[in-house]
């Protein structure tokens, strides 16, 4: 059923704000690699951190702003 839904109806600006705020644990206005790691609590955090650093928006820095976060999400869902 979820696959039949229009992504444009789900990934609204309001929903993207909610999602961003969920990851922005310290309310800094940025999502850091550490915040991703805190949320996912993975067994192999080093591997996950290295994978995050391959995302172009994370290269040469350790955090994303709201715009960069939305850009990544939209890439992931081909929107």
CATH number at residue 44: 1.10.238.10
Instruction: Give residue 37's domain range.
Output: 15-76
Categorize the per-residue pLDDT at 4 as very low, low, confident or very high, splitting at 50, 70 and 90: low
pLDDT at 30: 94
Smallest CA-to-CA distance from 69 within 3, 7, 24 is with 24
Q: Is residue 3 part of a domain?
A: no
Decide which of 75 and 79 is more confident. 75
Q: For the chain, what is the domain count?
A: 1
Give the pLDDT confidence of 46-75 residue by residue, as tens digits. 777 777 778 777 777 888 899 988 888 887
The pTM for the full model equals 0.68
Q: Is residue 6 part of a domain?
A: no
pLDDT at 66: 93
Q: Is residue 22 part of a domain?
A: yes
């Amino acid at each position: 059923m979820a696959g039949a839904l229009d992504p444009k109806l789900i990934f609204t600006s309001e929903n993207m704000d909610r999602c961003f705020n969920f990851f922005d644990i310290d309310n800094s206005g940025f999502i850091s690699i550490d915040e991703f790691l805190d949320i996912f609590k993975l067994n192999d955090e080093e591997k996950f951190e290295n994978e995050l650093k391959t995302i172009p928006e994370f290269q040469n820095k350790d955090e994303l702003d709201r715009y960069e976060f939305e850009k990544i999400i939209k890439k992931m869902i081909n929107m």
